[in-house]
Amino acid sequence: MLKVYEYSHLGGLEILKVRYPQIEREIDEVIAQVLVEKKGKISREKAKKGKMLYSPREMNLKFKEAFKERGFKELRDYYPIETYDGKQQIKAFKQIDFVKEKVLVEVQFGKYAFMFYDMAKFQYFYNKEKADVGVEIVPSYYLHKEMSTGVSYGEQLIYDIKRLERNFPSVPVKIILIDVKYK
């Protein structure tokens, strides 16, 4: 994959460069390592029926393997939630795909709501002092056009974060837009 754009929210990029330069390099290496040479998914969607698309599942698997090779782990925080009537406890959790030291990383090829939910998870772990910075790796507009309907793009996320100003998320975040090397 190819990193085509970076956006720094509340100094996320700067925190990585100064406090976690090795982890920032590793993230860049992972992005460069993930190769998607061909479109491997035939669309069954009405708007793109029969068109060859990039597979989000395949890309996620490659990212997962590459991050694990570099020692990134999953982070889960369990907590109880009580049902509305108080009769039952539910074991719930917040989860981040990849963490190393206090750097959280999410790779998101899903709907827009999941990108924004990742910001809420970054905020949650930041508030619990388990994170200093979050990194969100998302498709660029051009890559999203070559994927399944419903996959969002990073430019929308950046637009919304800018419009919210400093209100949300109030955690430092670096957003990385990616595209494929081979088209």
User: Token pair of 149, please?
Assistant: 């309907």
The domain defined by 2-179 carries CATH number 3.40.91.20: yes
Using an 8 Å Cβ cutoff, are 63 and 30 in contact? yes
Report how far residue 25's alpha carbon sits from residue 38's, in angstroms, rounded to the nearest whole number: 26
Using an 8 Å Cβ cutoff, are 4 and 176 in contact? no
pTM comes to 0.90
Q: How far is CA 19 from CA 11, 16, 22, 106, 116, in A?
A: 12, 6, 9, 19, 25
- For residue 125, give the 3-state DSSP assignment: helix
pLDDT at 147: 84
Average pLDDT over residues 63-87: 96
Report how far residue 130's alpha carbon sits from residue 74's, in angstroms, rounded to the nearest whole number: 13
Q: Where are the domains of the chain?
A: 2-179
What average pLDDT does the chain have?
Answer: 91
Write down the residue that tokens 């694990």 correspond to.
Answer: 68
What is the per-residue pLDDT across 101-134, written as a single tens digit (0 to 9) for each? 999 999 999 888 899 999 999 999 999 999 999 9
Write down the residue that tokens 């388990």 correspond to.
Answer: 130
